[in-house]
Amino acid sequence: MFIRFILFTAVLLTAASSAMAGGMKLGDLCRLKGQETNTLQGLGLVVGLRGTGDGDSAPTSRALARMMQLMGGPMSVDSVGNLNLTDVEDAKNVAMVFVTAKLPPVGAQQGDVLDVSVNAISAKSLDGGYLMLTPMLGPRADNPTVYAMAQGRLSLSPDAPATTATIQGGMKMEANVRASYVKDSKITLVIDRDFADFNTAQRIEDEINSLTSLTMGNPEHSRLAGASRRGGSSTYGETHAQAIDQLHVEVMIPAIYKENPIKFISFLLDIPIQLANRGKRVVINEAAGVVVIGDDVEIAPVLVTHRNLRIEAGGGGGFVEVGPDGTPAAAKLKSLADALGALDVPTEDLIAIIKTLKAKGDLYGEVIFR
């Protein structure tokens, strides 16, 4: 595999030059707190296996006996009234499983049908199995609320272990799960981790507090922050957005939107946003063999030796540029990558060189691994 790298130009890599023309919106780099993926989970029984079940596992025997009792099956009891597990011991075609399902960030409504994942606890294989009706609970063990029921024929992937399976549309919601995103008349924006830093959080705060387009032309609210200014201070004495840290920005819902926060949020997430230059980044996906190099990533003058090759970057080599002030400019990582690519250096070797440069402190930029 040879070098495959993508060189982002300023228009493609930075929002600073493309926010207005390219259309980067606030909603492209953040989400609302409260609108995240949630998980439902449950313990169930899979039947119909081909001798690959749990066998004489005591927990499985107790669960099977209890299920049969609840369904009216003939179960004997001992002298003290406990279920007689000898009736269901050595159940080789039955397995206890852990069942999970992901709820979308927008929540789910009663009657919605979602996919589930099934994982064996001790069975050797789930091939041919059928999940009996299983109550699905929330992620908190102290909350016994049943949100959904799952059942169905298991489907195994040829690329996955035989102890994992899925059921397409195997869970039906029995209760509504709504995403709660407004608290104390405020919403919290969660910045995507690819963009999160203090500079981005501050830019979002400043952009929202200086916004006029969300007031819907109300003359009494010429600015989102209610800035009818007298003597340099706000009449209302407040701003509506405040950066909490590099990941979170709290936004107070303006009074004119208190009865309709959805409208405010839709406008808010649609505003153009301008970010600082993000060209000093290198993103590496080792599994796919892809290296993405920002246009502004610089390196110190170095001599790179690769097997029988010697490449000098900066310090008198072929990659030295002259800056506007007449002094030699720092070498660009993309120039080094171009040279390595021309020599058919494999991608894994380029990645190793980048790692070494970063570890040595000779790469001036952020390196992100995917």
Q: Which amino acid is at 71?
A: M
Average pLDDT over residues 11-15: 33
Please give the pLDDT value at position 151. Answer: 97
Pairwise pLDDT comparison (3 vs 173), residue with the higher score: 173
> What is the structure's pLDDT at 251?
94
pLDDT band of 19, cuts 50, 70, 90 = very low
Distance separating alpha carbons of residues 103 and 122, to the nearest angstrom: 27
Asked which of 106-120, 121-135, 208-222, 306-320 is least confident by mean pLDDT, the reply is 208-222
The pLDDT assigned to 64 comes to: 81
What is the pLDDT, as a whole number, of residue 48? 92
Q: Per-residue pLDDT for 203 more than 70? A: yes
Q: What is the pLDDT of residues 138-159, one digit of tens each?
A: 988 788 899 999 999 999 999 9
Among 100, 99, 154, 98, CA closest to 126: 154
* pLDDT digits 0-9 by tens, 227-271: 433 333 333 335 689 999 999 999 999 888 888 899 999 989 998
Query: pLDDT grade, residue 324 (50/70/90)?
Result: low
CB atoms within 10 A of CB 208: 24
More confident residue, 52 or 317: 52
Q: What is the pTM of this model?
A: 0.65
Query: Is pLDDT above 70 for 346?
Result: yes
pLDDT in tens, 90-99: 778 899 999 9
Mean per-residue pLDDT, 60-67: 80
Q: What is the CA radius of gyration of the chain?
A: 30
Instruction: Examine the pLDDT at 323 and tell me if it is beyond 60.
Output: no
- The answer to whether residue 1 scores a pLDDT higher than 90 is no
